[in-house]
Amino acid sequence: MANILMTRIDNRLVHGQVGVTWVNYLGANLIVVANDEVSTDEVRQNLMDMVVPDVIGTRYFSIQKTIDVIHMAADDQLIFVVCDTPQDVLRLVEGGVPIKKVNIGNMHFSEGKEQISSTVSVDEDDRKTFKRLHELGVELEIRRVPDEKIEVDILKFI
């Protein structure tokens, strides 16, 4: 079974908080960015790789490829999965990826979304998706950085 330490939802995908702070806190040695667009965008991949220490591996897979290959991870790979949206996480979980905990770090505000914390805004589809993840036994938390207290009880909003 893949050693997935945590999965994070962050519209920015990999940046300083993810590539350094969370990786160090979790003890991860591999970041898997599960995102259909970034999986084929070498420029964005290279930009994200710039903030990740050289000793940490990065992989940029589509959602389907992540589902197909995650079970082939080596025992010594300590994996931090990063996704753009809760819908992507749900696709992974329904595809058999053993995700137990999701950290919701950043979901930008846009038209039709309600801001539920300083960095997280949701619409009705997001609420339904979080509810489904919760029903599937996935632990959900909103937290920007590891040493921050959980800001909002997401379950109040689903």
Domain containing 87 — which CATH number? 3.40.35.10
Let me know if residue 154 belongs to a domain: no
Instruction: Report how many domains make up the chain.
Output: 1
**pLDDT value of residue 153:** 73
Flag whether 153 is in a domain.
no
For 13: left if phi > 0, alpha if psi spans -120 to 50, otherwise beta; the answer is left
Residues 97-126 have pLDDT tens digits of: 999 999 999 999 999 999 999 999 999 999
In a domain, 133, yes or no: yes
Is 155 a domain residue?
A: no
Q: What is the average pLDDT across 31-48?
A: 97
Which residues are catalytic, by number? 15
Label residue 152 by pLDDT band (50, 70, 90).
low
pTM, entire model? 0.94
On whether residue 157 sits in a domain, the answer given is no
Confidence at 151, pLDDT banded by 50, 70, 90: low
Residue 35 belongs to some domain of the structure: yes
Parent domain of 86? 3-147
Q: Does 16 score more than 90 pLDDT?
A: no
**Average predicted confidence (pLDDT) for the chain:** 94
150, 141 contact by CB (below 8 A): yes
Mean pLDDT value of segment 18-35: 95
Residue 87 belongs to a domain: yes
Q: What is the pLDDT of residue 157?
A: 73
Residue 81 domain-assigned (yes or no)? yes
Confidence class for position 149, pLDDT limits 50, 70, 90: confident
